[in-house]
Amino acid sequence: MADLMGNDLTRQSASTLADAISQGEVSAEEVTKAHLERIADVDPRVHAFLYVDSDDALAAARGVDAKRARGDQLGALAGVPLALKDVLTMKGVPTTCGSKILEGWRPPYDSHVVERLRANDIVILGKTNMDEFAMGSSTEHSAYGPTRNPWDLERIPGGSGGGSSAALAAFEAPLAIGTDTGGSIRQPAAVTGTVGVKPTYGGVSRYGLVALASSLDQAGPCARNVLDTALLHAAIAGHDPRDSTSINAAVPDVVGAALNGDVRGMRIGLVRELSGAGYQAGVELRFREAVELLEGLGAEVIEVSCPHFEYALGAYYLILPSEASSNLARFDGMRYGLRAGDDGSHSVEEVMAITREAGFGPEVKRRIMLGTYALSSGYYDAYYGQAQKVRTLITRDFDAAFAQVDVLISPTAPTTAFKIGEKVDDPIAMYLNDVATIPVNLAGNAAMSLPIGLAPEDGLPVGLQIIAPPMADDRLYRVGSAVESALVDTWGHLLIEEAPAL
Amino acid sequence: MSAHADELMDYDQAVSLFEPVIGLETHVELGTNSKMFCSCPTEFGAEANTQICPVCVGLPGSMPVVNAVAVESTIRMGLALNCDIASWCRFARKNYFYPDMPKDYQISQYDEPLCTDGYLDVIVPTDDGPQVFRIEIERVHMEEDTGKLTHSGGDTGRIHGADYSLVDYNRAGIPLIEIVTKPIPGTGALAPVVARAYVAELRNLMRSLGVSDVRMEEGSLRCDVNVSLAKPGEPWGTRSETKNVNSLRSVERAVHSEIERQSALLTSGGRVVQETRHFHEDTGRSTSGRSKEQAEDYRYFPEPDLVPVAPSLEWIEQLRASLPEAPAAKRARLQESWGITDFEMQTLVNTDALDVIEETVAAGVEQSAARKWWMGEFARSAKEQGIELSQLRVRPADIVRVETLIREGALTDKMARQVFEGVLAGEGDVDSVIAQRGLVVVSDDASLLAAIDEALAAQPDVAEKIASGKVQAAGAIVGAVMKATQGQADAAKVRALLLEKLGVSE
Amino acid sequence: MSAITRADVEHLGRLARLNLTPEEIDNFAGQLDVILTSVARISEVAADDIPPTSHPIPVENVYREDVVRPGLLRADVAAGAPAWEDDRFRVPRILGEA
């Protein structure tokens, strides 16, 4: 283990920091302070954080140091700082979901993910920016202003979890939590040169995750390398009886897989429908190179067809708004958050409508309207009902593909990071960012995005998406680790090291 | 809400012109320890907002988990109602905004109810003797209750005219079972009575199953009453739905007044609109709520936060095998064993006395004595206090004790009544009331004879009459003795001693 | 699949309790129409014999024991409420019954 003294603590991996803390080379408090200083330094430009919880973070860090001093056994990530997406509740700490409607609300309870983080002595630095209620692919739909991509501050960091991905890429935190409903962990990872995993649906409890679309949402780990991601995955995954959809089975050995990056003999499927038209040239180039790399590492890559994927986007943009329109009904100004128009002259019905009009941004309203329409009587069968059937067909496509191969691969996103403002008024163009990630959410599979290089035309990161069958999350790490170490061997460092200084 | 009172037609005339078709949707709170989807307690009467958690207040991020006992109770109720039990069904969200509903949707069941297609037979007394009506059950499903609103400001305390309202979410999330009948035709003038008997029988059934104690005075049973009218031989008319009818008496009155209202409307050339009406306990009448034409579109869809309910056949059969005796079967059995008439049995049922009497008989009291006490003194006391028999302070064990003391000659009937008066008033159990009130039978012959002598001396003319064989005159002396002993003598014994003393026989 | 009119948008706004501005109503009418047209292709597939998927992972019969556990402190809930009176959430006057 390298001596960290004198090195920039914010440039280290989570596992390195955890080792150094447990060895006593640095204190958790020093590590947390270094990251808080980095945030103070760069976040005015990046705007990854909506709330920095310095006092609690330092107290938690000192708690870890005290444990170590007592000789207590420390967890694999004890004392490592983390950035938490603002869609997960944390007792007493503002949780806004990027929305004005929850401004100032401090939840009276911890989400399951936060409980797990605390139990693992991970230090939560604060809450990260996101598209309002996770609706978006650019973080431009945050009510608190956009987050900027550390690779180019004029560009988006992906979304909805752009705050978490930017925090990693800006070296404000070595670990982050994201949530992924249609790609909100993977696409931000792809466009910021970081790693993100959407676990199998039900792999991480949704208790305390403010729901966007309940049947699609999944919280997951984000980091700058595959092993750190696996360590965080292991820390937050597992059965929770408070989430009825939580899977009651052992968590796949993701850490073991990350330490054993060997793809020899693996069969890897290249999804024909997730390439071609609409994919940027540099994205396709790096993806083809990644395929060659995997073949060179001993994997067998074959092309597979998932014919119903072309309907995934349509089904998704009916299912998501439908569930969201219901999930977001509770934001009515009666029990928590914003209340507008309560001047004594308005009825409760009017105050609810005024509050929701004032508290929600345009994308949220658009999707609530869409979902309300899709569920309304007379349209249910044609829209919601039909979308659920498409979901069955997509799941069958995956089943057929996984009968032939161990994992599937595709580019994570069709393009590299686009410019802030470029697509914000064009919902369809924005929705197309998620075309490659959405099928996974519809079927409940596990998937990872990891960086595979920069697109030559713009010098921006490109992500590789790896998809595994449900509860085979370990395969993501096995493949991801193999690709990552081969690329590090080639480049001499992780891609993220090439990000410009801020 | 319409301010003017609706025209009503005389009931007898109404049912001579029209054939009512009724339907009932009954919501009952299940008697589980915890709520439907969270672990909060369900006790009635707690301080406002003290039985709440993130789930039942609908905090962002909270998630429901189904109470196993609520599912079991619903299946048992379905089986007792002779329903088919679904092998696979889901919860659904019913979306509408209302401040008593924490999530602005209610988790309910929509097109996949847990129980379907059952029936319940109810017996109604008529001039021609008891008549059985088979009430067809459409469905039984599970859902969650809403919070409780109180209305402030204004002058009525009612929703209308209030300045603002206050919400207590203790009740939000309490498990409800909803039992929906198919339309019930053919009840004629008996429609209100059949409706009442059906709800009473549902209540009996739920109590006998132990799935709910159905405390109607706490609002744990609520009915929506549908009524439509048809001219004989013609198709059913438009129906109205009267909401929140919360007592047996109100169910009967709601059907009754709705028949009168619709009849008046139809015969005066008006039409019945499909609408929601609100029943008012104070007047026994209903007023118009919102018309169904502007009704909410509930946008039902399968609840994605919950997984399907798929009870195994083994489980269902196990529950079926463990069902208690059905109330109707139990009534038939007891009626035969006690040798009582249909009318007597119906009276017991109507007074809600069957269970306590059965319990008392099981405790060792002769059935006629058990019936005498419960249907007499106790029923009167319960009625005065406006409570149910089972809520009286007197228990079957008290009756056992009193009956034993009477048999042993330690209490007279009159004294027994005094004992129960004390027990009902909360003075303690039988023995302590006897002790406190000093209720002792004066039974030693010496003191009784002394009292008799005194009475005879006071009324020599009466003494003469008796001695001359006019035995009926003995009453005056016995009465005087009873008075002298403050009722604590056994009157029969006094009489016997008196006649013996005067050397006459009956 | 018909075109979305302003009246449709107004109706949806009422159902969804959104007090939309005239400008929003115009915008949403156009945008919803575009979105619905582009998602309408899903009707090309999925015949009647395809079962719908509402839950991505097939799990059934998840229940909790009927046991009471501690919930939230009233003061913690009150702290987050926009208006609170007499230990209850205070809400504006209600026009219609549910």
Residues B251-310: tens digit of each pLDDT: 999 999 999 999 999 999 889 988 889 999 888 889 988 665 456 799 999 999 999 999
Picking from A142, A146, A130, A55, the residue whose alpha carbon sits closest to that of residue A93 is A55
Average model confidence (pLDDT) across chain A? 96
Confidence of residue A91 (pLDDT cuts 50, 70, 90): very high
Sign of CA dihedral B49, B54, B56, B59: positive
pLDDT for C98 equals 58
- CB-based contact (8 Å) between C22 and chain B? no
Query: Which pLDDT score is estimated for B460?
Result: 86
d(CA B106, CA B102): 9
Q: Is A111 a catalytic residue?
A: no
Partnered with residue B150 across adjacent β-strands are B166
Chain B residue closest in CA terms to C98: B98
Instruction: Say which of A85, A127, A198, A423 is annotated catalytic.
Output: A85
Tens-place pLDDT, residues A244-296: 999 999 999 999 999 999 999 999 999 999 988 789 999 999 999 999 999 99
**Residue A144: which of A101, A195, A112 has the closest Cα?**
A101
Contacts of C19 in chain A (CB under 8 A): 350, 353-354, 356-357
Please compute, for residue B180, the number of CA atoms within 13 A of its CA located in the half-sphere on the CB side. 16
| Residue found by looking up tokens 């609100």 in the block | B278
Q: Cis ω on the peptide bond leading into residue A275 (within 30° of 0)?
A: no
Confidence label for B6 from pLDDT (cuts 50, 70 and 90): confident
Can you give the pLDDT at residue B282?
86
Pairing of strands A300-304, B105-108: unpaired
When pLDDT is averaged across residues B399-421 and rounded to a whole number, the result is 87
Alpha helix segments (H runs only) across A183-307: 186-192, 226-236, 254-258, 281-296
Contact A349 B64 (CB under 8 A): no
Give how far B299 is from chain A: nearest CA, Å. 5
Touching subunits of B (3+ CB pairs, under 8 Å) are A, C
Task: Give residue A141's pLDDT band: very low, low, confident or very high (50, 70, 90).
Answer: very high
Chain A residues within an 8 Å CB radius of B301: 322-323, 326, 375, 380, 384
Query: Letter for the amino acid at B462?
Result: V
State whether A108 and C73 contact (CB < 8 Å).
yes
Compute the distance between CA of residue C98 and CA of residue C96 in angstroms, rounded to an integer. 6
Q: Which residues of chain B neighbour C85 with C-beta distances below 8 Å?
A: 152, 166
Average pLDDT over residues A49-70: 97
- The single residue listed with the structure tokens 């079926």 is B320
Distance CA A386, CA B170 (A): 39
| Residues in A 6-45 with any Cβ partner in C closer than 8 A | none
**Chain B residues with beta carbon closer than 8 angstroms to that of C15:** 296-297, 299
C-alpha C65/C-alpha C68 separation (Å) is 9
Neighbours of A143 (CB within 10 A): 21
- As a whole-number percent, the residues of chain B with pLDDT over 70 amount to 97
Of residues C98 and A291, the one with the higher pLDDT is: A291
Most confident of B210-219, B298-307, B357-366, B429-438: B298-307
Q: Give backbone dihedrals phi and psi of A220, rounded to 5 degrees, phi first.
A: -160, 175
Comparing CB atoms, the residue among B95, B102, B299 nearest residue A335 is B102
Q: Which chains touch A (3 or more CB pairs under 8 A)?
A: B, C
**Packing angle between helix B313-321 and helix B68-80, nearest 10 degrees?**
60
Side chain identity, residue A65: D
Lowest mean per-residue pLDDT among A49-53, A267-271, B21-25, B441-445: B441-445
Confidence tier at B5 by pLDDT (50, 70, 90): low
Q: Minimal CA–CA distance to B80: which of B327, B309, B311?
A: B327
Handedness of CA B331, B334, B336, B339 (dihedral sign): negative
Which CATH number does the domain housing residue C6 bear? 1.10.20.60
How many contacts does B have with C, using Cβ atoms within 8 A? 129
Among A317-321, B193-197, B204-208, B291-295, the minimum mean pLDDT is found in: B291-295
Count the neighbouring beta carbons within 10 Å of the beta carbon of residue A63: 17
Check if A491 contacts C (Cβ < 8 Å): no
Residues of B in contact with A344 (CB under 8 A): 163
Which CATH entry fits the domain spanning A9-308+394-496: 3.90.1300.10, 3.30.429.10, 3.40.190.10, 3.20.20.370?
A: 3.90.1300.10
Asked if the model's pLDDT at residue A220 lies above 60, the reply is: yes
Looking at residue A1, what is its pLDDT? Answer: 42
**Tokens standing for A54?**
């310095």
Contact between B376 and B347 (Cβ < 8 Å):
no
How open is the CA angle B2-B98-B166, to the nearest 5 degrees? 90
What residue in C sits closest to B71 (Cα-Cα)? C63
B184 strand-pairing partners: B22
Closest alpha carbon to B141 in B84, B58, B219: B84
Burial (0-12, 13-18, 19+ Cβ within 10 Å), A134: buried
Task: Specify whether A160 is catalytic.
Answer: yes
**CA-to-CA dists, residue B71 to B90, B119, B181, B279, angstroms:** 12, 20, 20, 31
Query: Among partner residues B61, B95, B165, which is closest to A207 by beta-carbon distance?
Result: B61
Point out the residue among A244, A332, A336 whose CB comes nearest to the CB of B97. Answer: A332
Average pLDDT, chain B: 90
Number of CB atoms found within 10 A of residue A297's CB:
17
Measure Cα distances from A491 to A15, A96, A224 in Å. Answer: 21, 40, 15
Interface test with A, best of C8, C11, C18 (most A CBs within 10 A): C18
Q: Which of A102, A328, A381, A390 is the mutation pick for testing C, counting most C CBs within 10 A? A: A390
Instruction: Decide if B284 touches A, using CB distance below 8 A.
Output: no
- The answer to whether A85 is a known catalytic residue is yes
Candidates A15, A164, A184, A322; catalytic one = A184
Distance from the Cα of B331 to chain A's closest Cα (Å) equals 43
Distance CA B81, CA B136 (A): 9
Ordered by start, the domain boundaries in chain A are: 9-308+394-496
Instruction: Please tell me whether residue A89 adopts helix, strand or coil conformation.
Output: coil
| Assigned domain for C30 exists | yes
Q: Rounded CA gap, A105 and C18, in Å? A: 21
Tell me how long chain C is: 98
Describe the crossing of helices B327-338 and B191-209 by its angle, rounded to 10 degrees.
90
Assigned token pair, C67: 């046991």
At A9-41, the pLDDT tens digits run 999 999 999 999 999 999 999 999 999 999 999
C42: in domain: yes
In a domain, C91, yes or no: no
What would the pLDDT profile of B140-180 be if each residue is shown by its tens digit? 999 999 999 999 876 666 777 788 999 999 999 999 999 99
pLDDT at B477 over 90: no
User: CB-hemisphere CA count at 13 Å for A406?
Assistant: 16
Residues 6+ apart with CB under 8 A from B380: none
Q: Do C18 and A348 touch (CB under 8 A)?
A: no
Residue B1 pLDDT level (bands cut at 50, 70, 90): very low
Domain count, chain C: 1
User: By three-state DSSP, how is residue A127 classified?
Assistant: strand
Q: What is the mean pLDDT of residues B29-43?
A: 97
User: Does the pLDDT value for residue A209 go beyond 80?
Assistant: yes
Instruction: With respect to residue C95, please indicate whether it lies within any of the assigned structural domains.
Output: no
Q: What is the pLDDT of residue B377?
A: 85
Structure tokens at C31: 């945008």
Tokens representing C29? 């009418």
CB contact under 8 A, B164 and C92: yes
- Please state whether beta strands A267-271 and A300-304 pair in parallel, antiparallel, or not at all (unpaired): parallel
Q: Which of A369, A376, A392, A441 is the best residue to mutate to test the C interface, defined by the most C CB atoms within 10 Å of its own CB?
A: A369
Catalytic residue among A13, A99, A142, A160: A160
Predicted local distance difference test score (pLDDT) of residue B2: 42
pLDDT score, position B295: 61
| Dist. CA B420–CA B428, nearest whole Å | 10
* Full-model pTM: 0.89
Structural domain boundaries enclosing C4: 1-47
The mean per-residue pLDDT over the stretch B245-251 comes to 92
- What single-letter DSSP state applies at residue B473? G
pLDDT digits (tens, 9 = 90+) for B433-459: 888 888 877 767 778 888 888 888 888
Report chain B residues whose CB lies below 8 A from the CB of C69. 34, 39-40
Interface touch B162/C60, C-beta < 8 Å:
no
Considering the domain boundaries, does residue C29 fall inside one?
A: yes
Q: From the CB of residue B406, how many other CB atoms can be counted at a distance below 10 Å? A: 17
C67 close contact with B: CB closer than 8 A: yes
Q: How confident is the model at residue B326 (pLDDT cuts 50, 70, 90)?
A: confident
Mutation test of the interface with chain C: which of B32, B34, B49, B164, choosing the one with the most C Cβ atoms within 10 A?
B49
